[in-house]
Structure 1
Amino acid sequence: LIALKVRRPINLEDYTPPVELLQILPLKSSVRGKDVGPQIGPNNSKFSTGMQALLDLLFAVEGSVLDAAKILGLSTGALSRLILSDDSLRTAANELRASKVAAIAVGGVAVDGQSSTELILITGFRDIL
């Protein structure tokens, strides 16, 4: 699916989750209004457009499930369960997160005496699925 591979840029400063994403979020999300309708799951044909929007957000927050969950009004556990609910979404999210870690590790900048690779190994695993 193209939805799993193509990322659209997001401006996080004024980000509002699109309806397609809101429709796949659990009902307990604090940003999901009651007017969105029932939650749609992986067996619904509209789920792929919600997946694309979720992956766009994950890309914008550099793969951080914690940061994405905050934006979506969910716990990291709830967002992780959503990602794990569909094998193709889980795979795409993990590939995205791995590519972000690899891209950051290439930088080679030292902070407090640690190379960026060491920093990634320390911080990159804080919210792995």
Structure 2
Amino acid sequence: MRKPEDLDRLAAQRVRVTGVYQAMTISQRGDAKAELAEPGAAGIRTDSGQVVLLGVYHRADGVRASDERQRHDGKRVEVIGVLERRTPAELAPDGQPGATMINPYVHSIESIRQVDARQ
């Protein structure tokens, strides 16, 4: 995925996403910092500026291991997995959809590897 318009064309397909790995804290506070020693959310900031989440952040596949976050945070990586247009809504205890981030995400992740800045 190189451009935001690629999202519609590539949704639900196996893709290769390249960009800078970013450990994230999902919080209502905009100044919250990611604690790399803890498992948590992560995404890839592509060259176009789009953030693609790794898994669904409010489900088990979106909780990235602390060693992965420490190893890759701030580094250029390539992720291979299945791209989806937007994160599914999280349901509140009463069954109503809660507020959720609407970023695209990659699931069924096959690999994450660091790559040269040229790639």
TM-score (norm 2): 0.25
Determine which structure has the larger helix proportion and give its number. Answer: 1
* Greater Rg by CA: 1
